[in-house]
Amino acid sequence: MQATDILMQEHRVIERVLDALETAAVALERARPVRPAFFLEAADFIAGFADGCHHRKEEGVLFGAMIDSGAPRNGGAIDMMLEEHEQGRALTRAMRDGARRLGEGDLDAARVVVSNARRYVALLRDHIAKEDEMLFPMADEIITPQQLAAVLHGYQQIEQQDAGDGAHERFLALAASLETEARTLAS
Which distant-in-sequence residues (6+ apart) come within 8 Å of 120 by Cβ?
21, 46, 88, 91, 92, 95
With a threshold of 0.75, does the pTM exceed it? Answer: yes
- CATH number of the domain that 104 lies in? 1.20.120.520
pLDDT digits (tens, 9 = 90+) for 77-121: 999 999 999 999 999 999 999 999 999 999 999 999 999 999 999
What's the confidence (pLDDT) of residue 168?
Answer: 80
d(CA 62, CA 177): 30
Domain hosting residue 177, numbered range: 3-186
What's the average model confidence in pLDDT over 154-172? Answer: 81
Q: How many structural domains does the chain have?
A: 1
- In sign, the C-alpha dihedral spanning 42, 43, 44, 47 is positive
**H or E segment at 156?**
helix 145-163
* CB-CB contact of 118 with 22 (8 Å): yes
